[in-house]
């Protein structure tokens, strides 16, 4: 069951700010992601995206471009779901 929409605008703004990356390619993908999904994200989705943002720029880019797959520590359904959304933008 999906949790409810993440309605805290401050938390979403912080997440969007935190998503700014050193690699332009990551920035572009994350910007498109937020433009499409920001207002549909649940608390669970926000936590999953936060986990993905812990990765280095290069690790994140490899995941976004499907050059690598999630490591064991990230093998959670909610992280996989958010990653699939990121890969489609």
What is the rounded distance in angstroms from the CA atom of residue 6 to the CA atom of residue 70?
24
Q: pLDDT tens digits, residue range 48-65? A: 999 999 999 999 999 999
List the one residue out of 69, 73, 72 whose CA is nearest residue 83. Answer: 69
Q: How large a percentage of the chain has pLDDT more than 90?
A: 52
In the prediction, which pLDDT does 78 show? Answer: 94
Q: pLDDT tens digits, residue range 1-26? A: 444 565 677 777 777 777 777 788 88
In the prediction, which pLDDT does 61 show? Answer: 95
Q: pLDDT tens digits, residue range 62-87? A: 999 999 998 888 889 999 999 999 99
């Amino acid at each position: 069951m999906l949790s409810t929409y993440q309605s805290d605008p401050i938390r979403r703004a912080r997440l969007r700010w935190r998503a700014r990356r050193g690699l332009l390619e990551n920035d572009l993908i994350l910007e498109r992601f937020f433009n499409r999904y920001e207002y549909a994200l649940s608390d669970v989705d926000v936590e999953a995206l936060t986990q993905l943002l812990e990765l280095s720029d290069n690790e994140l880019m490899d995941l976004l471009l499907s050059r690598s797959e999630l490591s064991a520590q990230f093998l959670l359904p909610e992280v996989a779901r958010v990653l699939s959304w990121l890969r489609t933008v």
